[in-house]
Structure formats: structure tokens, C-alpha cells
Amino acid sequence: MSDKNVYADANATFPVRSQHYEQVMSLLATSDGNPSSIHARGRDAKVALEHARTAVASMLGARSTDVVFTSGATESNNLLIQGVIWKAQKPGFLPEVIVSGFEHPSVMAVVALMAERQLCKVLTAPVVDYVVTTGAVMSLISDATVLVCVMHANNETGSINPVYEIADTVAKKNPSIHMHVDAVQALGKIDLSEYAASSIHSASLSAHKVGGLKGSGALYIKTGTKLGLVIAGGGQERFRRAGTENLPGIISFGIRCQELLGQQETFTKDMAAAKMQFIDGLKNIEGSEVHGQPAQTLPNTVNFHIDRVAGDDLLLNLDLCGVCASSGSACSSGVTRPSPVLLACNQSEWVALNSIRISFTDTITSSQVEHILSVLESVTSRVRR
């Protein structure tokens, strides 16, 4: 990629390398049967499926039988949250769910829907200094708590939450409370190999955030966890998620996990250097402010705003100059709304509407970072004039 063609939106989706498509195609060529068929073709597909399952499980230090393949992390979060809430239903009891204030919509919208249907009550743990604290979660625990959802790393700010500490503390208080972690943005960038040995009960993963194909993901569920069934049908995925498996997506996810296993330092080395270079460069832009402590954010993510410079203006100019970046603000029906994540982080409406997220891939170069900074500088100086 040239300096004028910069992809800095890895947290939205991580580009698939052409060589990866070739790897997937060559494996698929020998395993395109239905993994549920008992004939030779089916068995070949089953081998490929289980090979991928082992690779994904290894990322979490887990057994392959604890991994359920899904259509992505949105589905994984749905299967888990709905599954726990359905399982907890009993007459005269309203289960309580604790979520952090800046979970992804695939968590927030699901718990809201379940609450609207009077299947649970939702309590929100506030975000303080861009992270969720153990104290904030513990202060909401009651005898009715059945589920705690805290993401490992936030997709917009990159903030890393103390999920092991939260899981341990919750487990000490009441081991029957289910601790779920959305690990989508952490995968590949943070070592997650302690998950299976920790007090975390389940985790959502997505292939396309680590350079795999879109529409594929996984739900890790600790052995022995009982969930209400959400997608009923055939007996695939050990009766935990019906439907013929998306073999191309799963093979792709398996290949990426195999490549990334134990490699997070190598994978993130250049991103981390680019992040620090970018944060240093921002210091020269008057009115810029980075959200969150760099030491407590993902190695590839910088969320920031520039005082009195509209986020749209920055994004549009970045795009015109060949830079793909994103804002946290959601746009629907032509109306841009402030980022719920930044509002949850106690930022003002203006900041939540005008912030930018830069999220680097592993191919980022120093001159590309310079290019991004120069675009930001020129927009800012034009606005200041």
C-alpha cells in the first residue's frame, strides 16, 4: 500500500490478504462436503472443520469441544446472552444482567430486547477513565445476578478492561454467575491463552477482525455451562447451534488463528510503533486530545478529537487523501448521532460527535502515519485560520 493509500480502520474489519484467499481455496478444494455427512466427502469436511476448531480453541487455551462456530460475534453474543437468560427463567424470578456502559450493540441491543420482553433486568456498570472497574461491577451484584458482560477491549477507544480480575472477583462472590467477555477486538492483539484457565465462562470471537473472512465467528463456552437453546434445528455444533457450518469462513478463521497463535507481539509490533508515533505527532496539533491512557489501550487503536474541528471534515479530508479511518458516531437516515461509547466515557455531546478512530493493521508504515498527521494538520490549520 502506498503512503497515499492508507487503511487505518482495522477495528471495523481487517483486510484479507490475497494469499489468504488462496490458502482457503486450496483447503476447500479437498473438503467441500457437508461435515454432517458420513461418507468420505463429509468426513474430509469434518476433518477440516475440527482442525479449525482446534486452532480457534488454542487461542484461548481451551479444548476444541468448548468452541461453537457461529456467523460472527453478533451471533455469538446473542447465543450466549439469550441462552443464559432463557436458562435462568423460573416463576417469580427476574434474572439480573450487568453490562458495562460501553459494550458493543450486539450486547447492548440484546439485553435491552430481553428486558423489554420482561425476561431480565439490566444494570449498567459505569465507565470511569475509559475502563470498567471491578468495583463498579461488584456494586451492582445481587442475589438475582445471573450474567456479567464486560468486553476485553473496546472497539472505539481500544480501552482494555481488567476482565480476569472482574471474573475472579465475581466468581468469589458467587460462582454460579456467568461471566461473558466479548473478546473480538482483543483477539490476536492480546494474549488470551489464559481464558480457559480463568474464571471467564464464555467469549465471543470474530474472524474478520483478524484478517479472516466476514460472516464467521465463534463462541467459547466453558465445559459444563448450560445454556438455553437459541437456534434450533439439526444437531450441529453438539446441539448448541443448528445449521450447516460455514466451512469457507471457518477454514479461514482456523488458518488465521493458527498463524496468530502466540504471535501477538510480532503481529502488533509495527502497529504499536505507529500508535506511539501517531500519538506523539498529535501533540503538535493544537487542540487535539487522545481518549484513554495509551498504556491501557489496544496496540493499534487511537481515538481522539481536535477541538473545534468537525469530525466529518477530518474524515472526509482523510478519505480524499486516501486514508480510511472512522468515527464512533453512528449515522442513520442521514442523521449523525454522538457515539454512545464516548458518551458512556463521560465525553460531551460535541466530542462524542466529532471524534475519530484510527486503528492500524500490521502493515502500517512510519511514512503512512506521517501522511495521516499531515492531513489532520492541514484541516486543523484551515479551520483555525
Contact residues toward ligand PMP (CB under 6 A) are: 72-74, 104, 106, 151, 155, 182, 184-185, 206, 217
Find cell 466468581 and name the residue.
171
Say if CB 257 and CB 220 are below 8 A apart.
no
Q: State the minimum distance, in angstroms, from the CB of residue 155 to ligand PMP.
A: 3
Q: Measured from the CB atom, is 102 or 306 closer to ligand PMP? A: 102
CA distances 168 to 122, 135, 186, 205, 305, Å, are: 21, 12, 19, 21, 35
Residue 82 to residue 76: CA distance in whole angstroms: 10
In sequence order, which residues have a C-beta less than 8 Å from that of residue 374 and are 6 or more positions away? none
Q: State the minimum distance, in angstroms, from the CB of residue 266 to ligand PMP.
A: 23
Q: State the minimum distance, in angstroms, from the CB of residue 14 to ligand PMP.
A: 11
Q: Measured from the CB atom, is 282 or 341 closer to ligand PMP? A: 341
Phi, psi of 261 (to 5 degrees): -55, 120
Q: Where are the alpha helices (DSSP H) in 283-322?
A: 311-320
> Which residue's CB atom is positioned nearest to ligand PMP?
72
Q: State the minimum distance, in angstroms, from the CB of residue 81 to ligand PMP.
A: 12
Say if CB 127 and CB 344 are below 8 A apart.
yes
Find cell 469530525 and name the residue.
311
Rounded to 10 degrees, the C-alpha dihedral 123/105/221/99 comes to -20
Residue 159 to residue 278: CA distance in whole angstroms: 17
Residue 71, all three cell numbers: 456467523
In sequence order, which residues have a C-beta less than 8 Å from that of residue 186 and are 6 or more positions away? 152, 153, 160, 192, 298
Q: Measured from the CB atom, is 133 or 206 closer to ligand PMP? A: 206
Q: State the minimum distance, in angstroms, from the CB of residue 27 to ligand PMP.
A: 21
321 is catalytic: no
Q: Measured from the CB atom, is 182 or 362 closer to ligand PMP? A: 182
Q: Measured from the CB atom, is 179 or 309 closer to ligand PMP? A: 179
Residue 265 to residue 307: CA distance in whole angstroms: 34
Q: Measured from the CB atom, is 126 or 215 closer to ligand PMP? A: 215
Q: State the minimum distance, in angstroms, from the CB of residue 237 to ligand PMP.
A: 17
Give me the catalytic one of 120, 321, 331, 345: 331
Q: Which helix (H) or strand (E) holds 114?
A: helix 105-116
Find cell 459444563 and name the residue.
224
Rg (the chain; Cα; Å): 21
Please identify every residue annotated as catalytic.
331
